Amino acid sequence: MSEDFYDILGVSQDASEDEIEEAYREAVRNYHPDVSDDPDAEEKFKKAKKAKEVLTDEEKRRQYDQMGHERFSEAEKRGGVGGGRRQGGDPFGGGGGVNDVQDIFDQFFGGGGSQSRSRPQSGQDLKTTFEIDLETAYHGAEKEVTINRPETCDDCDGRGHPPGTDSRACPRCDGQGQVTQVQQTAFGRMQQRSTCRRCGGEGTLYDETCSTCRGDGVVRNEATLQAEIPPGIRNGQTLRMDGEGAPGDRGARNGDLLVEISVADHPDFERNGDDLKTRQPISFPQAVFGDTIEVETFDGTVEFDLEAGTQSGETFRLKGKGMPRLRRRGQGDLYVQVQVVTPDTLNEEQREALEAYAEAGGEDVEVDRGFFDRLKNSF
Ligand SMILES: [Zn+2]
Ligand SMILES: [Zn+2]
């Protein structure tokens, strides 16, 4: 992807401001990390945002057109580019992570509608993984999930200073939260506004800092939550727990907690979607004569009529005995593969019967008596 701002937005050099705004809205729709599967979405989004910021600012656009992309970026890094908005060190950083992106997203999709950067931001989503066994995935369960997460500091209610602390307007920014610097550069006098470092943009200084959170307003706590695991959940699926993520700024909503469910392999059952597969050992006489056999499921044993003349390796389907379908009615099927077990020990009577069986079928089997004797003794 070209770094040129016009290329990034896919507009021509003489595009109107409206065309640029429209191209930018398009980029928001395509690359917002909440809607895009593109792994580079956030990066592309930031670039589009940067491109739009420059190209919709008349003064900056004029400088950009004059200097070209590289020189402009260099000049900007040194703080030598004018314009209405604050400048960061990184030409594409824009000072923000996902929350910053969320701000812009909200402007187009009805989350806020305000251009203000000081609007309180909602908390980050947090992620954790939780392992369950297949039987739990079958029945569903309420499980305790423990996470270590940032929470609003109780002692100061998230303000960062104890209640009733004396305060005064920040002398550095005159209580404005922003400072304006005027610089003499090769391109003339440039004005630059930036967030006041003394007060962090709040415009107010407090005489005391909350000792519990050291002024952050946030502390890390271990939290134990009840997660409702629905029957039929699959490996890798995610449960979203509303409002259980990181706290939002100054009363804005919390992020969510995303719990990725990992379903452990089971020794007896193999899962394929909503179907299950299991192996069932049967004896040679059962295979020959047929029998009613009992098959284990997660809901107890079910009986199954084996036909006479069943071959080893044959698979039977028990309809509706598989996994529950997630948030739907019904269950998948259980496939039972029978395996005829060849005995490796025989008592005297069994050996004679089997020899007689072979003889009756016209088979001339050389029986090594020592083989069975040795086996007998070893048990
Ligand atoms: Zn200040
Ligand atoms: Zn505190």
Q: 67-113, pLDDT tens digit by residue?
A: 788 888 888 877 766 544 333 333 333 333 344 444 444 434 433 33
Q: What is the pTM of this model?
A: 0.58
Helix (H, G, I), strand (E, B) or coil at 37: coil
The reported pLDDT for the residue numbered 181 is 82
Residues in contact with 214: Cβ distance below 8 Å, sequence separation at least 6, in sequence order: none
The CA distance from 233 to 326, in Å, is 6
- In the reported structure, the alpha carbon of residue 125 is separated from the centroid of ligand 2 by a whole-number distance in angstroms of 22
Distances (CA, A) of 124 to 98, 127, 238, 254: 8, 10, 16, 7
Query: With bands split at pLDDT 50, 70 and 90, how would you rate the model's confidence at 313?
Result: very high
- In the reported structure, the alpha carbon of residue 12 is separated from the centroid of ligand 1 by a whole-number distance in angstroms of 41
* Amino acid letter, residue 317: R
The pLDDT tens digits for 280-303 are: 999 999 999 999 999 999 999 999
Is pLDDT above 90 for 368? no
The CA distance from 286 to 68, in Å, is 84
* 314-321 contacts at long range (C-beta below 8 A, 24 or more positions apart): 314/338, 315/277, 321/276, 321/297
Query: Are the CB atoms for 178 and 197 separated by under 8 Å?
Result: no
User: Can you name the CATH fold of 120-155+218-263?
Assistant: HSP40/DNAj peptide-binding domain (2.60.260)
**Would the annotation count 173 as a binding residue?**
yes
The closest of 379, 293, 371 to 337, measured between CA atoms, is 293
**Would the annotation count 271 as a binding residue?**
no
Lowest-confidence segment of 148-152, 251-255, 305-309, 318-322 by average pLDDT: 251-255
Which of the ligands is closest to the CA of residue 178? 1
Specify the domain boundaries for CATH 2.60.260.20 within the chain: 120-155+218-263, 270-378
DSSP string computed for 189-254: EEEEEEE-TTTTTSSEEES---TTTTTSSEEEEEEEEEEEE-TT--TT-EEEETT-SSPPGGGPPP
Task: Residues 270-378: name the CATH superfamily.
Answer: Urease metallochaperone UreE, N-terminal domain (2.60.260.20)
CATH for the 5-109 domain, from 1.10.287.110, 3.40.1360.10, 1.10.443.10, 1.10.10.10: 1.10.287.110
Q: Which structure tokens are listed for 347?
A: 């008592």
Which of the ligands is closest to the CA of residue 204? 1
